[in-house]
């Protein structure tokens, strides 16, 4: 029996949830990356959003590894939102990512999204 990519993704999602993924942010991050690689943008967004939900506020109390995972989730959310053309959401997530880990790559992402959003607004 041949499964489509969506059915396969659904089966894998259920397997992850059953095996304890529900409360493991790192596993949601990995699943989100897998969805993104397969072009399943909506599913990836849901997984990256789950990572951001699972890490408690304030984030200053997170371990370094968790802090980096949360930053990656915001970074990936930003990329997924650009694929949907949701520039305001993408910019918000990119700015959060940059605030958490102010690196050149994160700064460049914020700058690129701002430029693209301005192009969209001007109708170019």
Tell me the domains of the chain and their CATH numbers. 19-122 (1.25.40.10)
Residue among 68, 53, 46 nearest 23 (CA): 53
Contact, 57 vs 67, CB < 8 A?
no
Whole-prediction pTM value? 0.79
pLDDT in tens, 21-64: 558 999 999 999 999 999 999 999 999 999 999 987 887 888 89
Whether residue 84 has pLDDT greater than 90:
yes
Residue among 78, 88, 80, 12 nearest 42 (CA): 80
Among 21-30, 37-46, 65-74, 90-99, which stretch is predicted with the lowest mean pLDDT?
Answer: 21-30
Q: CB count, 10 Å around CB of 114?
A: 15
Whether residue 95 has pLDDT greater than 90:
yes
Whether residue 88 has pLDDT greater than 50:
yes
């Amino acid at each position: 029996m041949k499964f489509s990519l969506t059915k396969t993704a659904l089966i894998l999602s259920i397997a992850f949830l059953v095996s304890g993924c529900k409360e493991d942010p790192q596993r949601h991050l990995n699943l989100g990356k897998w969805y993104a690689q397969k072009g399943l943008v909506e599913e990836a967004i849901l997984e990256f959003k789950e990572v951001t939900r699972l890490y408690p506020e304030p984030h200053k109390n997170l371990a370094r590894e968790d802090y980096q995972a949360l930053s990656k989730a915001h970074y990936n959310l930003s990329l997924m939102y650009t694929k949907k053309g949701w520039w305001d959401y993408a910019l918000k997530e990119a700015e959060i990512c940059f605030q958490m880990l102010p690196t050149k790559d994160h700064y460049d992402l914020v700058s690129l999204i701002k430029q693209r959003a301005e192009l969209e607004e001007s109708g170019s």
